[in-house]
Structures are given as structure tokens and as C-alpha cells.
């Protein structure tokens, strides 16, 4: 009887390890950018290509940068969540139109609605690389000092907005 | 006839070969070799088990271009790796670095092997030597008969 105890314990430990592993999402790679200054950019705006927008324009404010594209399926899924978030007026939402044709991006916003104060146009995906983007949509919460405080890879859901994004935005707004 | 056919076929493949190899559009083979060598060290985050050298994902292509551009500007391999790690984290390195956090990753298999050897060793040491069993007189006689080649024991 006794000699079964150890193998059984080892087996149970292995099962526990694998069970925990199953609940983790391998696509979610922790970003090294958390608590680092938001990478610099200066990109033309989607609607007015003659004007540019830079992360510096938002110093002193808590804001959200959302990476989207008209070719991205999950963005469509995420879109109503962003519309609701924008309508709440709690935090300004900016879009980074990633590797998209300008007319496609504009048409997409026209069809589904535009939750963003403005979107910038990153046709070559350079700024995307600086922000470590690899799975659109991605969302960054940036604080008043221009530091990235939160990153979400993949679509935002109402639960995540309620439990993570909004509490963080409120806390950062106070500080 | 066969020889002629073979010649024709050979001539045809020779004509195709350069057409196929013309695809990599690099003017500088040495640079391209460096780009590919470093790309083999970088993980594609879209298709996680491929390197950016293997992957055809658009992001992998962008990252290869980024590597190429930085090399043209004279960046060293380690500078480029640092650039990638700053954006995508250690995960972007196809060979994980030695760190406190990756200790189990590197030495886990070795620890398991050591544990296995330890268990084996303990078992071997604990094993009782085989006991001698005394033979009966009848058995002794039979052995003696067999060794002597007694006819009755033959089949």
C-alpha cells in the first residue's frame, strides 16, 4: 500500500500542474512595456492626414490607446465595447489604425461608428512594433506622466472594462 | 533515345533552376545571410512555435525588414536583440536566456533525471541478494544423472 503513495502523489502534482496550465493563455505574453514610458510616435491622423498626433499631446491626461484595423475580425467583436466606453466619457479613447489602407479604415469607422477622439494611421506598422503589437486588437492604458500602466492583448470585453480598465483609470485619474 | 530524353529533361530543369532562386530580392547576400541567421533567433509572436525566419505572417515579415534595416545602419546583432526584447519581452528570443525565472526551464529536465537516478540507485541498493536454496538428495541425484548423460533423461 505504502509504495503507491509516492507515485500517486507525483501523479496528482502533475495533474494539478497541467490543469493550471490549461487555464493559462499562451497567446498572452507579458509585455515588457508595463510601467515604462509609452514609446514615442508622431503619426498622421486618419481623418486629416495633414495633421499629426503624438503621445506627448496627451501628457497630463489618463488615456487609452486602442490598436485596431479594418481587417481584424476581433476588432469588430470588440467594437461595441469601445463605443460604450467612449459614450461613458470616463476616459479619452484614441485609435491606432494598424497596417490598414486609409480608405478601408475610414470606411470601417463610417460603417460601425467611431468611438475614438481621433485615430492615427500606422500604415507600415512601425509604431506597432515599437508598442510590441502582435495581436490586434490591443489596448494600452497610459497615465498622466505618459507611462503605460496596462496592456490588453486581444479584444476588450465588458467584464475586463468593468473589472480592470475602469478601476485603473479612476485610480490614475486621482493620482 | 533514353539518353536523349534524359538530356532534354536535364536541360529543362537547368532552365527552371535560376528562375526559382531569383525570388529572394536581396542585392547583398552577406547581409541577407546575417538577417536570416538573426531571424532564426527570434520568435514570431503570431505563430509562436516558428521563428520569424520561418514564418510568413505579416508581422514576421515586418520584423525581418526591421532587422535588415537596422543591420544596414550598422547595428550589431546584440543591439537588435535588445531592441526586440525591449518591445516583445524575453519571449521573442527563440532560445530563452539564463535567468532566475528560467532556471526550471533550463535545469528542470536535469533535475528530473537526477531524481530518477536517485530512485533507481536507492532501489538497487535496497535489493536483497538472492538466497541459496538447499537441494534435496533426490534433486542432487537427478542433477548428477543429467550431467552424466543418463539415457533415461533423454527425450
Angle between helices B29-39 and B77-88 (to 10 degrees): 40
Of the listed ranges A21-30, A105-114, A129-138, the one predicted with least confidence: A21-30
Mean of pLDDT over chain A? 92
pTM above threshold 0.80: no
- Residue A45 to residue A53: CA distance in whole angstroms: 6
User: Is residue B45 situated within a structural domain?
Assistant: yes
- Give the model's confidence band at B5: pLDDT under 50 very low, under 70 low, under 90 confident, else very high: low
Total domains, chain B: 1
User: Is residue B66 situated within a structural domain?
Assistant: yes
Chain B nearest-CA distance from A133, in A, is 8
User: Is residue B55 situated within a structural domain?
Assistant: yes
pLDDT of residue B2: 61
pLDDT of residue B152: 60
Q: How many CB atoms lie within 10 A of CB B23?
A: 6
Domain that holds residue B74: 26-95
CB contact under 8 Å between B46 and A134, yes or no, is: yes
Question: Which of B48, B58, B86 is closest, CB to CB, to A32?
Answer: B86
CB contact under 8 Å between A33 and B58, yes or no, is: no
H/E segment holding residue B53 = none
- Give the model's confidence band at B6: pLDDT under 50 very low, under 70 low, under 90 confident, else very high: low
* Preferred mutation among A67, A124, A129, A136 to probe B, highest tally of B CBs within 10 A: A129
Q: For B2-27, what is the mean pLDDT?
A: 54
User: Is residue B148 situated within a structural domain?
Assistant: no
Chain B positions in Cβ-Cβ contact with residue A128 (cut-off 8 Å):
62
CATH number, domain containing residue B49: 1.10.8.640
Question: Which of B46, B66, B85 is closest, CB to CB, to A129?
Answer: B66
**pLDDT score of A98 more than 50:** yes
ipTM: 0.78
Q: For A153-168, what is the mean pLDDT?
A: 93
Q: Do the Cβ atoms of A141 and A31 come closer than 8 Å?
A: no
Chain B nearest-CA distance from A119, in A, is 21
User: Is residue B89 situated within a structural domain?
Assistant: yes
pLDDT in tens, A36-66: 999 999 999 999 999 999 999 999 999 999 9
What is the four-CA torsion angle of B134, B137, B140, B142, rounded to 10 degrees? Answer: -130
Which CATH code of 3.40.50.1000, 3.40.30.10, 1.10.240.10, 1.10.3720.10 fits the domain covering A34-174? 3.40.30.10
Burial class (CB in 10 A: 0-12, 13-18, 19+), A105: buried
User: Is residue B90 situated within a structural domain?
Assistant: yes
Amino acid at each position: 500500500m505504502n509504495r503507491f503513495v509516492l507515485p500517486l502523489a507525483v501523479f496528482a502534482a502533475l495533474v494539478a500542474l497541467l490543469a493550471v496550465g490549461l487555464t493559462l493563455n499562451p497567446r498572452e505574453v507579458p509585455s515588457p512595456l508595463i510601467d515604462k514610458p509609452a514609446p514615442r510616435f508622431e503619426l498622421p491622423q486618419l481623418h486629416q492626414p495633414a495633421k499629426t498626433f503624438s503621445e506627448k499631446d496627451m501628457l497630463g491626461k489618463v488615456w487609452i490607446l486602442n490598436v485596431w484595423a479594418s481587417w481584424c475580425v476581433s476588432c469588430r467583436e470588440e467594437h461595441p465595447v469601445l463605443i460604450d466606453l467612449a459614450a461613458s466619457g470616463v476616459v479619452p479613447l484614441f485609435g491606432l489604425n494598424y497596417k490598414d489602407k486609409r480608405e478601408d479604415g475610414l470606411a470601417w469607422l463610417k460603417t460601425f461608428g467611431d468611438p475614438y477622439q481621433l485615430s492615427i494611421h500606422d500604415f507600415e506598422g512601425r509604431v506597432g512594433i515599437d508598442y510590441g503589437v502582435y495581436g490586434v486588437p490591443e489596448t494600452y492604458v497610459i497615465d498622466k506622466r505618459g507611462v503605460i500602466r496596462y496592456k490588453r492583448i486581444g479584444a476588450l470585453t465588458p467584464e475586463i472594462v468593468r473589472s480592470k480598465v475602469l478601476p485603473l483609470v479612476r485610480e490614475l485619474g486621482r493620482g | 533515345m533514353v539518353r536523349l530524353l534524359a538530356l532534354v529533361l536535364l536541360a529543362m530543369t537547368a532552365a527552371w533552376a535560376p528562375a526559382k532562386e531569383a525570388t529572394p530580392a536581396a542585392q547583398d547576400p552577406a547581409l541577407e545571410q546575417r538577417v536570416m541567421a538573426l531571424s532564426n533567433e527570434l520568435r514570431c509572436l503570431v505563430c509562436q512555435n516558428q521563428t520569424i525566419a520561418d514564418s510568413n505572417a505579416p508581422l514576421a515579415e515586418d520584423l525581418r525588414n526591421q532587422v535588415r534595416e537596422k543591420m544596414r545602419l550598422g547595428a550589431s546583432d546584440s543591439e537588435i536583440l535588445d531592441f526586440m526584447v525591449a518591445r516583445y519581452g524575453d519571449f521573442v528570443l527563440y532560445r530563452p536566456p539564463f535567468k532566475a525565472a528560467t532556471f526550471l526551464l533550463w535545469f528542470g529536465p536535469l533535475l528530473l533525471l537526477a531524481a530518477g537516478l536517485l530512485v533507481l540507485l536507492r532501489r538497487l541498493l535496497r535489493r536483497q541478494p538472492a538466497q541459496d536454496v538447499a537441494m534435496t538428495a533426490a534433486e542432487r541425484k537427478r542433477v548428477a544423472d543429467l550431467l552424466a548423460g543418463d539415457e533415461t533423461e533423454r527425450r
